[in-house]
Amino acid sequence: SPTARSITHSTLVTREDLLPEYDYVIVGGGTSGLTVADRLTENGKHTVLVLERGLLQNSSSVTTVAGGISAFLDPTLLFNFTSAPQQGLNNRSIAVINGRLLGGSSGVNGMQVLRGQREDYDRWGSYFGKNSEWSWDGLLPYFRKAWHFHPPTPELVRQFGIKYDPGYWGSTSNVHASFPTFSWPALKLEMAAFGDIPGVKYPSDSGAGETGAYWHPSSVDPATVLRSFARPGHWDGIGAARPNYHTLTGQRVLKVAFHGKRATGVVFVPFDATDQSQARTVKAKKEIIMAAGTHHTPQILQASGVGPKKLLAEAGVPLVVDLPGVGSNFQDQPFNIVPQFNYSSFPFHPDSSDLYTNQTFIAEAAAQFAANRTGPLSIASGNCASWLPLQVIAPQAWKDIAARYEAQDPAAYLPSGSDKAVVAGYRAQQKALARSMRSKDSATYNLHLGGGYSNGAAVYLHPVSRGTVHIDRADPFFSPPEVDYRALSNPTDVEVLLEFTPFTRRYFTETRLKSLNPVELTGPGANATRDQVEAWLRGVLIPSSFHPVGTAAMMPRQLGGVVDEKLLVYGVKGLSVVDASVMPDLPGSYTQQTVYAVAEKAADLIKARA
Ligand SMILES: Cc1cc2nc3c(=O)[nH]c(=O)nc-3n(C[C@H](O)[C@H](O)[C@H](O)COP(=O)(O)OP(=O)(O)OC[C@H]3O[C@@H](n4cnc5c(N)ncnc54)[C@H](O)[C@@H]3O)c2cc1C
C-alpha cells in the first residue's frame, strides 16, 4: 500500500534556469506561499517564482496520517533553534518548531482542521473601523474556497452523533478536510460529558464559528488517506501546464532589495551557505510577497531595513522605513497547562493507548490499513474537542478578570521602551480582547480529546502577553531570529490559567465522567494553593502549540500595524505579507484553516491590483 504520494512536479528550476525578472516573487513556499502562487498562476497572465528554504520532501514521515506526529518527529523537516530564555518560565528556553520543506508547516502539522469563532474575524476588522472587509462574513467565502470538505461516514455519524453542515464548506479545493473511518469508543461519553457543564453548546458544524464541543475534520485526502497539505493541494502536477510558474527550493532568502522605497527584488543564497559570496538577486516587476511564516517574515523584513529604527541601527541595517510593529505583537497558544487525568475504571476497548502498547491490536490495525486504508491508522491527531468561553470555565471569576485586564496600563506589560504606536495597538487589542473575555461566543479554553484513558491536553487560545521576534543584532542574515514569547509576562494570563486547572478537574470529576473514577496524576495537586499552582505552571508550561501569529500585523499604521487591509506593507511600494504573521491576534482555534483562507483572500487582493 502506498506510504508516499507519487508526484508530478510543478516546474522546479535550478539557480541557473531562473529568469532575471518575474511579475511576482514569493518568499517561502509554505502553506500560504503555495496557495497564493497557485492562484496567481492560474490564468497564465503572470510569471511567479517561489523561493523556498526547504526541499521537496515526500517521505512517509510527511505523508503518514496515523497519530499525526511522524513529521513532527523528523528533524530533517523542521527548523532547529530555540527561543530566548523565558523569564516567566524559570528561564527555560523552548524549541521553536516550524516546517522547513516545500509546503511549510502544513507538511508537518497535526492535521487538525479548525476555524475560530465569528467574533475573531470581526475583531480583526474592528481595528480598521466599521466598514472593514475583514470579518466573518468576508472570510467565509474564502474558508469555502480553501477546503474540500468530505463528510464523516454514516456509520461514524450514527455511532458518535457527529453534527456537520456542508454549508460552511466548499468542494473545489485540492486541499482536503475529511474524517477518519473509525474512532475511539470513549469519545462518545467524553463529548457528552461537556453537556453536563452549564453553558456548553454543540454547534451544527465545526466551521460554524461558534464555541462549544464538536467534531472536526483532519487535513487528510480521503482518496489516499495521506496527509493533504499545501504541496499536493496547490503545487503537485499543476506546473507542467503553467510555464509561468517556477519554484526554486533549497534557497534562503536574506533580504528584499529596494530602489528608494520600492521593493524591486529578493537576495538569496543556497540554504547551506554561511556567507553572501553566492548571493543572487531576482527581480519582481509587480510585487514581492512575503510568506516565510511568523518567525521568518519579520526577520527578513528587519534584515531588509523594514522594522523598528532602533533595532535596525543596533544591527547596522540601513533603514528603509521605520515600522515599529515588525516583530512585535508576537503571540502563540500555550499548552501543558492543566494536570493529567487518568481513568481508573475504563470499560472502553479499544482505546488510543492500544496503538502504542497492545501488539496484537497494533498488528491488526496495520493489516486493516494495508488492506483498505481504514481503521485506527486513519486517525491523525484527533477529531474532537471543546472550545469554551471564559465565563463557562470561570463562572465566578470571569467578570473581575476581564475588568482588571481592561483597566491595565497598556504599556505596563509590553517590552520596556515599546513604541507608542505598538502601545496604542495593544490598547485597541486590550479593549477588544476584554470584550471577547466577556463574550459567550468567544473561546479561551480548549480541551482536546484523544480517546484514551489518560487526558489533559488543554490549550490557552487567547493569551494576552505579547512577545517579540528580532534579528540577531550580531548576524541578521544567518543566525536564526531571536524569538521571545515573553510567556506569562502579563499577569492576566496567570489569572486565566489559574482557572484552567479547577475547570478541568470539574470536567473530569463532576460530570458523568465521574463514573470512570478519574485520578489526577500530574500537576500541582488537588489541594495546592493558587501560589503553588502558579509555580507549577511556570515550571511546566510550553508557550507554543505551534500556532504563532502577529509579527507583521494587519492593523492601522498608527496602531503599530505592518500591513494594511490589502496586506501591503506600510511606507514602501511593491511589498506584501500573506502568511500567519498578518493575523493581528489569534483566532479561538488552531491556525492552519485560517492561514489557507487568508491566503486565498490575499491572492484575490493581489490579482485585483495586478
Ligand atoms: C508541528 C506543528 C503542528 C501544527 N498542528 C496544527 C494543527 O493540527 N492544526 C492547525 O490548524 N494548525 C497546526 N499548526 C499550525 C499551522 O500549520 C500553521 O499556522 C501554518 O501552516 C502556517 O503557515 P504559514 O504560511 O504562515 O507558514 P509556513 O507554512 O511555515 O511557511 C513558511 C515557509 O517559509 C519558508 N522559509 C522560512 N524562511 C525562509 C527564508 N529565509 N527563505 C526562503 N524560505 C523561507 C519555510 O521553510 C516554510 O516553508 C501546526 C504547526 C506546526 C509547526
The secondary structure of 471-532 as a DSSP string is --TT-TTTSPPEEE--TT-SHHHHHHHHHHHHHHHHHHHSSGGGGG-EEE-SSS-TT--HHH
Ligand 1 contact, 109 CB (< 6 A): yes
Close Cβ partners of 213 (under 8 Å, ≥ 6 residues apart): 191, 194, 195, 200, 201, 202, 384, 385, 386, 387
Q: Ligand 1 center to residue 559 CA distance, Å?
A: 26
Q: Would you give the end-to-end CA distance of the chain in angstroms?
A: 45
pLDDT digits (tens, 9 = 90+) for 90-145: 999 999 999 999 999 999 999 999 999 999 999 999 999 988 999 999 999 999 99
d(CA 610, CA 605): 9
Ligand 1 contact, 156 CB (< 6 A): no
* Beta carbons within 10 angstroms of residue 398's beta carbon: 19
Residue spans of alpha helices (H) in 292-347: 293-303, 309-315
Quick check: 144 and 169 in contact, CB under 8 A?
yes
Average pLDDT over every residue of 350-375: 95
The ligand 1 atom at the shortest distance from the C-alpha of residue 254 is: 41
Strand partners, 96: 81
Percent of the chain clearing pLDDT 90 (strictly above): 93
Q: Ligand 1 center to residue 34 CA distance, Å?
A: 11
Q: Ligand 1 center to residue 101 CA distance, Å?
A: 9
d(CA 466, CA 493): 11
Mutation test residue for ligand 1: of 73, 109, 234, 545, the one with most atoms within 8 Å of CB: 109
* Beta carbons within 10 angstroms of residue 322's beta carbon: 16
- pLDDT at residue 162 greater than cutoff 50: yes
Query: Residue 2: its pLDDT value, please?
Result: 37
The ligand 1 atom at the shortest distance from the C-alpha of residue 253 is: 42
- pLDDT at residue 239 greater than cutoff 80: no
User: Which residue, by CA, sits nearest to atom 20 of ligand 1?
Assistant: 592
Ligand 1 contact, 51 CB (< 6 A): yes
Ligand 1 contact, 70 CB (< 6 A): no
Residue 193's alpha-carbon distances to 117, 213, 240, 398, in angstroms, are 22, 10, 52, 22
ipTM: 1.00
Quick check: 231 and 462 in contact, CB under 8 A?
no
Mutation test residue for ligand 1: of 25, 49, 105, 591, the one with most atoms within 8 Å of CB: 105
pLDDT digits (tens, 9 = 90+) for 551-605: 999 999 999 999 999 999 999 999 999 999 999 999 999 999 999 999 999 999 9
Query: Residue 459: its pLDDT value, please?
Result: 98
Average pLDDT over every residue of 413-437: 98
Average pLDDT over every residue of 449-468: 94
The phi-psi region of residue 103 (left if phi > 0; otherwise alpha if psi is between -120 and 50; otherwise beta) is left
The ligand 1 atom at the shortest distance from the C-alpha of residue 68 is: 8
- pLDDT at residue 397 greater than cutoff 80: yes
Q: Ligand 1 center to residue 341 CA distance, Å?
A: 31
Strand partners, 99: 78
User: Which residue, by CA, sits nearest to atom 11 of ligand 1?
Assistant: 592
d(CA 453, CA 600): 40
Whether omega before 410 lies within 30 degrees of 0, making that bond cis, reads no
The ligand 1 atom at the shortest distance from the C-alpha of residue 300 is: 41
d(CA 1, CA 126): 50
Query: Residue 6: its pLDDT value, please?
Result: 55
The ligand 1 atom at the shortest distance from the C-alpha of residue 589 is: 11
d(CA 221, CA 64): 11
Average pLDDT over every residue of 14-29: 93
Query: 405-435: b or e for each residue (b if 16 or more CB lie within 10 Å)?
Result: beebebbebbbeebbebbbbbbbbbbebbbe
Ligand 1 contact, 29 CB (< 6 A): yes
User: What is 368-403 written as a DSSP string?
Assistant: HHHHHS-SGGG--S-SEEEEE-HHHH-TTTHHHHHH
pLDDT digits (tens, 9 = 90+) for 69-85: 999 999 999 999 999 99
Ligand 1 contact, 112 CB (< 6 A): yes
Ligand 1 contact, 111 CB (< 6 A): yes
The C-alpha torsion from 177 through 180 and 181 to 183, rounded to 10°, is -140
- pLDDT at residue 548 greater than cutoff 70: yes
Q: Ligand 1 center to residue 135 CA distance, Å?
A: 23
**Element (DSSP H or E) covering residue 23:** strand 21-27
Strand partners, 288: 25, 575
